[in-house]
Structure 1
Amino acid sequence: MDASALFAFDTHELRPEGRAALDDFVGRLKGATLGMIRAVGHADRLGSEAYNQILSEDRAEAVKAYLVGKGIEPERVRAEGRGVAQPVTKPGECIGGRSAQVIACLQPDRRVAIEVAGTRASTHSGIWPAFDRN
């Protein structure tokens, strides 16, 4: 799924494509004995550091709320934000101000990674790979 599927620029509201991706994710958890799920929100570098920290937290909380709404126990889901601390884009990429081109270039930085710890039907254990979506 494209990195832009969960969130648009400057928002924490889930897009329809994002809800569909999360529905698929929840479906893949069926039959698993879950430990904890961690939703980690991220933001791009545009805007203040404080604003982006809050935005990343809000994105993680939006994913948590959606997962809980789909039947995952709230005590099993932890949401946290990392702000701009862990960009996917490299230094020197996406040069310029707030142009449409730069906003599009920074899209990979606007994401929520989902990490699942648990055992799947007695065959897998440990941390599942991050489910990165924006």
Structure 2
Amino acid sequence: MQRYHLNFLALPLYIYQKIQSIIIDMKAFKLKLATFSIALAMASMLGTSCNSLTKTQKGTAIGAGAGGTIGALIGKRAGNTALGAIIGGALGGTAGAFIGRNMDKQAAEIKNTVPGAQVVREGEGIIVKFDSGILFDIDKTALKPVAKTNIDQLSASLKKNPETNILIVGHTDNTGTAAHNMDLSVRRAEAVKAYAIAAGVDASRLTTQGKGDTEPIADNTTVDGRTQNRRVEIVIVANDQMKNQAKQVAVN
């Protein structure tokens, strides 16, 4: 490692302090660069090796190896707000495995009770996806009757598992202007939140985001692709109470 030596007696105090400040800034930059490199390496490893892991094992590895900051970076690089929310809050290790087992149980319950939903177990969380065609008419924000049934069913599970927080993310295809799509996605997410609250879910557990057409999961040049991109994702993650329980399990 390169060493920096300065002769204090040979330099006026002001110049000495300035040079020392530059050296400190250089070291801080190197540390940030190293941290960013680790994040990229973690993203690469996750992309190439995660297929061989179970969802619970993946959550354990992600949290233990990456932590919240790097996890959030991975989610951002992937263009996936839902995944970023899960990885960003992951504990990892034994605590993460405890949370993962709880999420396994709730995911199975949702699959059995909400037939209109696609349920994905991911790390220390759950992503529940609804095709917007199930929830809304085209370019509308009023929930369809079948949508209310689905959200009622999901809300029942959320109320049975109060130690979680829920992020509702609205998405659109790229038809129309970016501003219109963003507004539509926000209002649809808010509509789902409002109905879940009416169904008895504690409002303090619910947050919303609208992503417009910025996070497509399919080809917007095809009808089928646009249909897939018009969706609402409901992300279920551990709240502080569950995390504290998980940490106690890890210590004991």
TM-score (norm: length of structure 1): 0.74
**Are 2:159 and 2:201, in contact at CA under 8 Å, matched by a contact in 1?**
no
Q: Which amino acid aligns with 2:144?
A: R
Identical positions, percent: 32
Runs of 4+ in 1 over 6 A off after TM superposition: none
Structure 2 residue runs without a partner (length 5+): 1-115, 117-129, 247-252
Equivalent positions of 1:1-134 (< 5 A) are: 1=116, 3=131, 4-90=133-219, 93-94=221-222, 102=223, 106-118=226-238
**Are 1:87 and 1:109, in contact at CA under 8 Å, matched by a contact in 2?**
yes
Rounded Cα–Cα distance in structure 2 between residues aligned with 1:88 and 1:8:
20
Query: What's the secondary structure of 1:8's corresponding residue?
Result: coil
Equivalenced residues, count: 113
**Are 2:158 and 2:201, in contact at CA under 8 Å, matched by a contact in 1?**
no
Rounded Cα–Cα distance in structure 2 between residues aligned with 1:28 and 1:75:
16
Structure 1 residue runs without a partner (length 5+): 95-101, 127-134
Cα deviation, 1:10-52, whole Å, max 9, x if unaligned, reads 1111111111111111122242123311000001111000000
Rounded Cα–Cα distance in structure 1 between residues aligned with 2:227 and 2:142:
15
Root-mean-square deviation (Å): 2.3
**Are 1:7 and 1:111, in contact at CA under 8 Å, matched by a contact in 2?**
no
| Higher RCO, Cα 8 Å, sep 6+ | 1
CA distance 1:67–1:39, change in 2 (3 Å): same
Q: Which amino acid aligns with 2:187?
A: D
Higher helix share: 2
Higher strand share: 1
